Homo-oligomer: A and B are copies of this chain.
Amino acid sequence: MKKSAAIGIDIGGTNTVIGLADECGNIPLKTSLKTGDYKKAEYFVEKISKEIKIIKQKISEEYEILGVGIGAPNGNYYNGTIEFAPNLPWKEKIELAKLIEEKINIPVVLTNDAKAAAIGEMIYGGAKKMKNFLMITLGTGLGSGFVVNGELIYGHDGFAGEFGHTIVFENGRECGCGRKGCLETYVSATGIKRTVFEFMSDYNFKSDLRDLTFHEIDSKIIYDKAVDGDQVCLHAFDYTSKILGRQLADAVAICSPEAIFIFGGLAKAGGMIIDATKKYMEASLMPVFRNKVQVLPSALDENNAAILGAAALAFKQFKKVTK
């Protein structure tokens, strides 16, 4: 008997990765392409469909493909569309799921990347058996997936889960969304870099970062310097955790999750982010929620998480229907 599998596709601003995943989370096949090489969405659809057909041919004796799952920035689950994604080459509204489905004759489901990560955590990661948890992805921005009663919150229009765009400071930092003071302008790879610049301005600490330009500094350097004891970087990690912890306390008041998973480059800073966020969250929580909510690093392997999340979405969507 053939094994069940799903194709997971992660569309990023730089790379698009396509992989075949089985129900245990193995990825026997994986390929990638440069998203920016496809100036028109139709060329991209053509290429993706071709890659899927190649995978299908290669594995047809061993696996049955239940469906294709896509995680994409600004992806809308209800419509299967990518809508006005600022970091992708195609700025219009694209019916990606439908366009690919028509070419490959396999069902396709799509959602945004953070929601796909949440489903990945639920099926392959640390949230197995959890019905209520939050997924926070820290990258260029802050993405989130809120799971309640075992289901993702998509909201009325499919755009729910914009925790990164809750406001933490009135008239705070400028955000790409056109407003000010959004959480992700403080808590993300970009946010911690902005904090470093604020702190180099506010404090007189000596710091190696004073020899680097804004464009030269990234969250990896900030982490490495923090480990070396750089006070600007250590304070920046503490401040990032404080803002995140406080805002999570509000999210807990609304959703009362069992756990909060942190995913992405910054999450690798471990105690400097995970433990510190937990500490500040606990200090801000309403008494009834104290010492109940775990803050954990994602259990997914970062290299495969996006594919697994997208594949998990397809398994969740098509498994019952197909079998």
Contacts and interface: CB of A to CB of B under 8 A. Distances in A.
Interface of A: 131-132, 144, 146, 148-149, 151, 153-163, 165-167, 177-179, 246, 249-251, 253-258, 284, 286-289, 292-293
Contacts of A246: 167
Instruction: Say how many copies of this protein the assembly contains.
Output: 2
A161 B288 CA distance: 12
Contacts of A250: 166-167, 250
A114 to B, nearest CB: 12
Contacts of A165: 253, 286
Given A178-B287, A246-B167, A286-B177, A254 B148 contact: no
Given A178-B287, A249-B167, A284-B167, A256 B149 contact: no
B157 A292 contact: yes
A92 to B, nearest CB: 15
Contacts of A253: 162-163, 165-166
In the A-B complex, the 6 residue pairs with the smallest Cβ-Cβ separation, listed nearest first, are: A155-B256, A160-B256, A166-B250, A156-B258, A162-B253, A132-B156
B288 A155 contact: no
Per DSSP, are chain A's interface residues mostly helix, strand or loop, or mixed?
loop
Nearest to A158: B256
Contacts of A249: 167
Given A153-B148, A160-B254, A287 B167 contact: no
| Highest count of chain B CB atoms <10 Å: which of A146, A155, A289, A292 | A155
Given A148-B160, A254-B254, 20 more contacts: A146-B254, A148-B149, A148-B155, A149-B149, A151-B151, A153-B254, A156-B256, A156-B257, A156-B258, A156-B292, A156-B293, A157-B256, A159-B288, A161-B256, A162-B253, A167-B250, A177-B286, A177-B287, A179-B286, A254-B255
A102 to B, nearest CB: 27
A155 B167 contact: no
28 contacts: A131-B156, A132-B160, A144-B254, A148-B148, A148-B153, A149-B149, A149-B153, A153-B254, A153-B255, A156-B258, A156-B292, A156-B293, A157-B292, A159-B256, A159-B288, A161-B254, A161-B256, A162-B253, A162-B254, A163-B253, A163-B254, A166-B250, A166-B254, A177-B287, A178-B287, A250-B250, A251-B254, A254-B255
A89 to B, nearest CB: 20
